[in-house]
Amino acid sequence: MVSSLKGRDFLSLADYSREELLFIIETARVLKERFYSGERIIPLLPGRHLAMIFEKPSTRTRISFETAMRELGGDALYLNWRDLQLGRGETIEDTARVLSRYVDGVMARVYEHDKLVRLAEYSSVPVINGLSDLLHPAQALSDIYTIMEKKGRDISRLRIVFIGDGRDNVLHSLLLGIGILGGKLVISSPKGYDPDPMVVEWFEEKAAPNGGSYEIIRDPYEAVKGADVVYTDVWVSMGQEGVREKKIRDLEPYRVTVELMKLAKPGAVFMHCLPAHRGEEVVDEVIDGPWSIVWEQAENRKHVQKAILALLIP
């Protein structure tokens, strides 16, 4: 039983137990249900302020967190990294101390994961990972919620397949979240693109004891056979432009096509966290086709993040 998550940081799904993740997911379900019943504003955080720091630009992260906070009766402040004193050399530690005097929570979208760790260490208010190069827990938990919405709460019976770059930040968080909830993730990626060893270590510590597992299958056509869920992400993320040509060449066999999706189980769904580079990791006929649930997936960012905010911010 979960009593309270107030004051907790949200840097990695590995920081949360199975029961706590399910508690957040159930809270998101209730909040989404209330939203569609006509209760657009649920004042769980009146007078609270969320600072949103963006070192990386964003569409979904910014809008979903901002609308989520306002629908909870609070306010969200957009802060561009370059416009803050951070962009002029002020330390993360000093910024954390100052922001803690002004706001009730901080969401940050950064490059290096260590920046979030340092921000959380020196902040007296909850710090939420809006994305780092290593992890994207808010996205992954929203994706898991969406899978449960479409396929049922028992994800241990599902074949969930991620195709593409196994070092992807969303993949890392999906691996942890699905594993902690007792599910299995199949990863189809070329050699040299396996998950970060640190994330694998966290998986063995936090997910394996709950019955979680993963398997790497190099052949995407073999991996996707009988899949309930097929997931992919962009091959070249922000900051990786210098290796773009190599990554596209290495990952070209892992493009999600109609032919690939036809090998999945009848009723299978296709997922992508967006933005998509159409024609690279996925073709139009799939992302716009009958398998796709990417738009519901994008919407659920708001509902799950609303739950995270409501449960963590004091």
Q: Has 139 been annotated as catalytic?
A: yes
The per-residue pLDDT for 243 is 81
Classify residue 28 as exposed, middle or buried by CB count within 10 Å of its CB (0-12, 13-18, 19+): buried
With tokens 């869920």, the residue in question is 229
Residue 141 shares a structural domain with residue 276: yes
Share of residues in the chain with pLDDT > 70 (%): 99
Residue 50 belongs to a domain: yes
- The residue ranges of DSSP E strands in 114-272, in sequence order, are 127-131, 160-163, 184-188, 213-216, 229-232, 269-272
237 — pLDDT class (breaks 50, 70, 90)? confident
Classify residue 265 as exposed, middle or buried by CB count within 10 Å of its CB (0-12, 13-18, 19+): middle
**Are 216 and 222 spatial neighbours (Cβ–Cβ below 8 Å)?**
no
| Lowest-pLDDT range of 86-100, 154-168, 258-272 | 86-100
Q: Which helix (H) or strand (E) holds 144?
A: helix 137-151
Residue 141 shares a structural domain with residue 283: yes
Q: Which of 29, 272, 301, 303 is catalytic?
A: 301
**Alpha carbon 32 to its chain's center:** 18
Measure the CA–CA gap between 73 and 241, rounded to whole angstroms: 40
Q: Say yes or no to pLDDT of 87 above 90.
A: no
Measure the CA–CA gap between 23 and 238, rounded to whole angstroms: 32
The per-residue pLDDT for 3 is 84
Residue 103 shares a structural domain with residue 248: no
The per-residue pLDDT for 136 is 98
Q: Has 219 been annotated as catalytic?
A: no
Q: Has 233 been annotated as catalytic?
A: yes
The per-residue pLDDT for 2 is 85
Length of the chain counted residue by residue: 314
Q: Has 244 been annotated as catalytic?
A: no
Q: Say yes or no to pLDDT of 233 above 90.
A: yes
Q: Which of 273, 297, 303, 305 is catalytic?
A: 273
- What is the total count of domains within the chain? 2
| Lowest-pLDDT range of 17-31, 184-198, 209-223, 232-246 | 232-246
Residue 59 belongs to a domain: yes
Residue 99 belongs to a domain: yes
Q: Which of 168, 172, 233, 305 is catalytic?
A: 233
Residue 43 belongs to a domain: yes
Q: How many CB atoms lie within 10 A of CB 165?
A: 27
Q: Which of 9, 48, 104, 139 is catalytic?
A: 139
Measure the CA–CA gap between 230 and 174, rounded to whole angstroms: 12
Residue 6 belongs to a domain: no
**Are 298 and 274 spatial neighbours (Cβ–Cβ below 8 Å)?**
yes
Residue 150 shares a structural domain with residue 286: yes
Share of residues in the chain with pLDDT > 90 (%): 93
Q: Which of 18, 29, 48, 136 is catalytic?
A: 136
Convert the pLDDT of each residue in 7-29 to its tens digit: 999 999 999 999 999 999 999 99
Mean pLDDT score, 104-131: 98
What CATH code is carried by the domain that includes residue 165? Answer: 3.40.50.1370
With tokens 């070329």, the residue in question is 190
Residue 19 shares a structural domain with residue 112: yes
Residue 69 belongs to a domain: yes
Measure the CA–CA gap between 39 and 145, rounded to whole angstroms: 21
For helices 294-312 and 60-71, the axis angle rounded to 10 degrees is 50
Convert the pLDDT of each residue in 210-220 to its tens digit: 999 999 999 99
Residue 292 shares a structural domain with residue 196: yes
Mean pLDDT score, 166-173: 98
- Whole-model pTM: value is 0.96
What's the domain range around 122?
13-135+300-312
Mean pLDDT score, 170-180: 98
Q: Say yes or no to pLDDT of 242 above 80.
A: no
Q: State the amino acid at position 192 in one-letter form.
A: G
64 — pLDDT class (breaks 50, 70, 90)? very high
Task: Give the pair of three-digit tokens for residue 37.
Answer: 């019943």
Cα atoms in the 13 Å half-sphere on the side-chain side of 286: 27
Residue 258 belongs to a domain: yes
Mean pLDDT score, 252-260: 98
Instruction: In the chain, count H helices and then E strands.
Output: 12, 9
Residue 173 shares a structural domain with residue 292: yes
Residue 5 belongs to a domain: no
The per-residue pLDDT for 241 is 72
The per-residue pLDDT for 1 is 77
